[in-house]
Amino acid sequence: MSVAEGDPELVRSQVQAFGRQIPLLYFILIVNTMAVTVTHLRSAPAWMTMYVPGVLCALCIVRCVRWWRGRNRVLTHDKAVPELRKLIWMAGIFGIAFTAWSLMLLPYGTPYEQAQVAFYMATTVVGCVFCLMHLRVAALLLLSIVILSFATFLVFTGSPVFIAMAVDMSLVGLALAFIIELYYRSFAGVVHTQRDLQASQEKTQRLSDENFRLASIDSLTDLPNRRSFFASLRARCPSRHSRRTGPSTWDSSIWTASSRSTTFTATQAATSCCRKWARGSLRSRSPAFSLRGSAATSSACSRKTANRKMRCWN
């Protein structure tokens, strides 16, 4: 039943929610107080209809302006925790102040004006509690102060109407307390779920980066492989990559061309080695073959020379 100091995400979410709800709370409080004050100007003393509500409304305006200016401000955890604690204290102080003022104002005026004060307390506490639902302890504190004190005062008046109103307010207070408890649990559960999802996403991202690193190096030599080459190539040549063809087509064309050139060079080298080996083995095994081959080669050369000369003469 206090500020969750060990849960920074929850504290930060509560402060962000209150940045827009607390000004609404003070607006409801000021408007309802001014309405009751106007209707009791002639039936109640001036200090109860002008001075006391004037001071309370001025404090509400100061607090409202402060929260409205800081609605978009992001507080650290060390600053957010004292801010929530101050909000709890302010909820209790304002609850006691406005309840005491309403109880002192209740005996004055006609029955209609007295009913207006009771209606003012019931509607105002419901609106304020809904604005404080993100901080359970503040909402329950305000609800307890207003409902218990006002219902007790109505019961001791002895009027059947006021006693019935006290019973109704008590039942409504119990229902509000139950709703506040459920809503706060749901709110905290959503915050914790978002935190778990973010942690899971960060873990998945780390695993993905590690898998990419392992896929981009050779497992034996720890040197960059073909995947790393294409990744660096795409990073360095984005214009050519996107202007002509897609990434897969471009990578495939480069890999196919390099494979063809490599295959052709390897084939030429292998063919040359096989020819040299065959000639060397034949010459070493049959000397006559080498003589015959040389004689045949020389006779072929002489025939080609004779043919060329005859063509020239003709």
Residue 278 binned pLDDT confidence (cut-offs 50, 70, 90):
low
Q: Do residues 29 and 125 both lie within one domain?
A: yes
pLDDT score recorded for residue 219: 67
Query: pLDDT at residue 83 above 80?
Result: yes
The answer to whether residue 246 sits within a structural domain is: yes
Backbone angles phi, psi at 81, to 5 degrees: -65, -50
Of 244, 260, 276, at which residue does a domain stop? 260
pLDDT score recorded for residue 1: 52
Query: pLDDT at residue 41 above 50?
Result: yes
Q: Do residues 22 and 53 both lie within one domain?
A: yes
Beta-bridge partners for 217: 224
Query: pLDDT at residue 96 above 90?
Result: yes
Is residue 105 within 8 Å of 40, Cβ to Cβ?
A: yes
pLDDT score recorded for residue 29: 92
Closest among 215, 132, 210, 219 to 177, alpha carbons compared: 132
pLDDT score recorded for residue 189: 86
The answer to whether residue 113 sits within a structural domain is: yes
The answer to whether residue 294 sits within a structural domain is: no
The answer to whether residue 210 sits within a structural domain is: no
Percent of the chain with pLDDT over 90: 26
Query: pLDDT at residue 61 above 90?
Result: yes
Q: How many whole angstroms separate alpha carbon 134 and alpha carbon 141?
A: 13
Q: How many whole angstroms separate alpha carbon 286 and alpha carbon 259?
A: 40
Query: What secondary structure letter does DSSP report for 50?
Result: I
- What is the per-residue pLDDT across 129-140, written as a single tens digit (0 to 9) for each? 999 988 889 999
Question: What's the average model confidence in pLDDT over 195-212?
Answer: 81
The answer to whether residue 254 sits within a structural domain is: yes
How many Å from the N-terminal Cα to the C-terminal Cα in the chain? 123
Is residue 80 within 8 Å of 12, Cβ to Cβ?
A: yes
pLDDT higher at 24 or 258? 24
pLDDT higher at 2 or 260? 2
Percent of the chain with pLDDT over 70: 71
pLDDT score recorded for residue 281: 54
pLDDT higher at 95 or 249? 95
Greatest CA separation found in the chain?
151
Q: Do residues 242 and 163 both lie within one domain?
A: no
Q: How many CA atoms lie within 13 A of 59 on its CB side?
A: 12
Query: pLDDT at residue 309 above 50?
Result: no
The answer to whether residue 272 sits within a structural domain is: no
Q: How many whole angstroms separate alpha carbon 294 and alpha carbon 304?
A: 15
Q: Do residues 152 and 122 both lie within one domain?
A: yes
Is residue 122 within 8 Å of 169, Cβ to Cβ?
A: yes
Lowest mean pLDDT among 164-168, 181-185, 255-259: 255-259
pLDDT higher at 236 or 98? 98
pLDDT score recorded for residue 56: 93
264's tokens:
């052709």
Question: What's the average model confidence in pLDDT over 192-203?
Answer: 81
- Dihedral of CA 150/155/158/160: which sign? positive
Query: pLDDT at residue 307 above 90?
Result: no
215's tokens:
């896929």
33-65 exposure pattern, b = at least 16 Cβ within 10 A, e = fewer: beebbebbeeebeeebbeebbeebbeebeebbe
Q: Do residues 236 and 186 both lie within one domain?
A: no
Q: Do residues 155 and 231 both lie within one domain?
A: no
The answer to whether residue 229 sits within a structural domain is: yes
Q: Do residues 186 and 249 both lie within one domain?
A: no
pLDDT higher at 168 or 70? 168
Q: How many whole angstroms separate alpha carbon 106 and alpha carbon 265?
A: 105
Measured from the Cβ of residue 17, the count of other Cβ atoms closer than 10 Å reads 16
Q: Do residues 241 and 192 both lie within one domain?
A: no
The answer to whether residue 209 sits within a structural domain is: no
Q: Do residues 20 and 149 both lie within one domain?
A: yes
Give me the domain span that covers residue 235: 220-260
Residue 267 binned pLDDT confidence (cut-offs 50, 70, 90):
low
In one-letter notation, the amino acid at residue 294 is S
Q: Do residues 72 and 162 both lie within one domain?
A: yes
- Contacts with 172 (C-beta within 8 Å, 6 or more apart), sequence order: 122, 126, 147
Q: How many domains does the chain have?
A: 2
Q: Do residues 253 and 192 both lie within one domain?
A: no
Q: Do residues 164 and 237 both lie within one domain?
A: no
